[in-house]
A and B are shown apart, each in its own frame.
Chain A
Amino acid sequence: MQIPAAFDYARADSVEHALELLEQHGPESRLIAGGHSLLPMMKLRLARPEWLVDINDLHELDFISEDAEVLRIGALTRHATLLESDVIARLFAIITDAEHVIADPVVRNRGTIGGSLCQADPAEDLSTVCHVLSAEVVIRGRSGERTLSMADLHRGPYETAVAQDEILTEIRLPVRPRFGSAYEKVERRVGDWAIVAAGAAVSLAGDGSIEQARVGLTAVGLDSGTVTRAEEALRGGRPSEELFVEAARLAGEDCSPDSDQRGPVDYKRHLADELTRRVLRRACRRAAEQGAEQTCRLP
Chain B
Amino acid sequence: MQIAMTVNGEQVTRDAEPRVLLVHFIREVLGLTGTHTGCDTSNCGVCVVLMDGKPVKSCTVLAAMAAGHDVRTVEGLAKNGTLDPVQQGFMEEHGLQCGFCTPGMMLTARALLDSNPHPDDHQIREAISGQICRCTGYATIVRSVHWAANHAAEEVPG
Contacts and interface: CB of A to CB of B under 8 A. Distances in A.
A204 B62 CA distance: 47
B68 to A, nearest CB: 8
B62 A109 contact: no
A8 B62 CA distance: 12
A56 B65 CA distance: 8
B142 interface: no
* Interface size, B (range): 20 to 34
Given A35-B65, A40-B41, A105 B126 contact: yes
Nearest to B24: A3
A190 interface: yes
Contact of A40 (B37, B42, B62): B42
A6 interface: yes
A90 interface: no
Interface residues of A, number: 29
B114 to A, nearest CB: 14
A9 B41 contact: no
B57 to A, nearest CB: 6
Contacts of A109: 54-56
B45 interface: yes
Contacts of B117: none
Contact of B19 (A5, A35, A80): A5
Contact of A36 (B40, B60, B67): B60
Interface of B: 1, 17-21, 24, 37, 40-43, 45, 48, 54-57, 60-62, 64-65, 67, 108, 126-127, 129-131
